[in-house]
Amino acid sequence: MEKFIIQGGQPLNGEVTPAGNKNAALPLLAACLLTDEPVILHNVPEIRDVISMRSLLESLGVKTEQISPHTWKIQARDVRPADLDPDLCRGIRASILLAGPMVARAGNLQLPPPGGDVIGRRRVDTHILAIRSLGAEAEYDRSNRVFDFKSKGLKGADILLDEASVTATENAIMAAATARGDTVLRNAASEPHIQELCHMLNSMGAQIDNIGSNTLAIHGVPKLHGTEFTIGPDYLEVVSFIGAAVVTRGTIRIRDAGPEYLGMIRLVLGRLGVDWQVEGRDIIVPAEQRLVVEPDLGDAIPTINVMPWPAFPTDLMSIAIIISTQSNGSVLFHDWMYPSRMFFTDKLLGMGAHIVLCDPHRCIVQGPTPLYGEKMESPDIRAGMALVLAALAAEGRSVIRNVGQIDRGYERIDEKLRALGARIERETA
């Protein structure tokens, strides 16, 4: 197990380029199962979750080749159902993304339960309901502890998802792309990575309309072909660097940051007194930030809620909480999606933050407060990155253990931060 040693209090300055979007790379890799022709993917992030997905694909007979550090060639010429490694499947939530394309391409799959971050129960019911709606059988085999998917051919359907689940939307899109007839997918999630999946599938010959909306029209085609596609920047990493600049009072230029996806995020962080400039596709975060909480009408304490895209995403709640510890005023944070998202705040209390954990879904932060170095454990990807930001802002030395969780979603984050002037080292615990 590895750990980060961080000496805080150092303003970060310089330029950084974010990695490719992790949450786009995983479904795009899964989508390669839908064709027997080669697919070239550029800007693939070098992170643990992507490596795990690559291993799962290879166990299904897919040939993968790393042409350059961030460019992969994937060819699923001969796909075969296989016994997938339960430990690999438990390691990443995205293993569930194999269900849609494998049912469409091979007609069956036995999938061990997916895992991922420890942020509370994450149901898979929506995946099952969507795939069943297209004509497949989908059951959980308790004796063998696997999800059993079978199909003799998928058929388009009018599907209303019972929740706007990102991965369930992606599974339904991939399964419907080559189903017979037309599919209407309602209450679909519309995050940037879902839009990228739709665009890549269209470049492979799929016919998906209304991309970016909550109602997708998918006209099934008999066959998909190979393509070449570039993964966009990871907006979660972009906002992490914005937060790093803000809490350390530094100036950072983020290259190729995809500012077109940050509208709502800018509005929400603006309520904490944060702003940035846009130059082309770059974002510049200045050292001078207002950092005053904007109250609601009547000087009421404002609430920051998470909601499905294009509202404020749940994966950025932890970063927003860190920023609020350095903003003047009180804020109520509410994440109704995951019952364990807020539990990392006890570590911030140990660093000196003024936080009241109201219940598993809500906390109140009163800032600004100085933070002090502490020894901590990284509980999940996003909370782990938030703790890194807190340690960078803190006075003194912090130790963050279990940084493998952070490595699942952030490519060489310690090296990027060192290049900006951070005093951060990686050691084997």
Residues with catalytic roles: 117
Burial 145-175 (b: 16+ CB within 10 A, else e): ebbebebeebbbbebebeebbbbbbbbbbbb
Q: How many CA atoms lie within 13 A of 39 on its CB side?
A: 29
Nearest CA among 133, 127, 109, 125 for reference residue 181: 133
Q: Are 183 and 156 in contact (CB under 8 A)?
A: yes
Kindly state the DSSP code that residue 192 receives in the 8-state scheme: H
- Phi, psi torsion values for 403, nearest 5 degrees: -75, -5
Q: CB under 8 Å to 247, separation ≥6 — which residues?
A: 322, 323, 325, 326, 389, 390, 392, 393
DSSP alpha helix (H) spans, 45-165 = 48-59, 86-91, 99-105, 125-133
- What size, in residues, is the chain? 429
Q: Please state, in angstroms and rounded to a whole number, the distance separating the CA atoms of residues 55 and 127.
A: 22
Cα–Cα distance between 259 and 278 in angstroms, integer? 7
In whole angstroms, give the CA distance from residue 336 to residue 334: 6
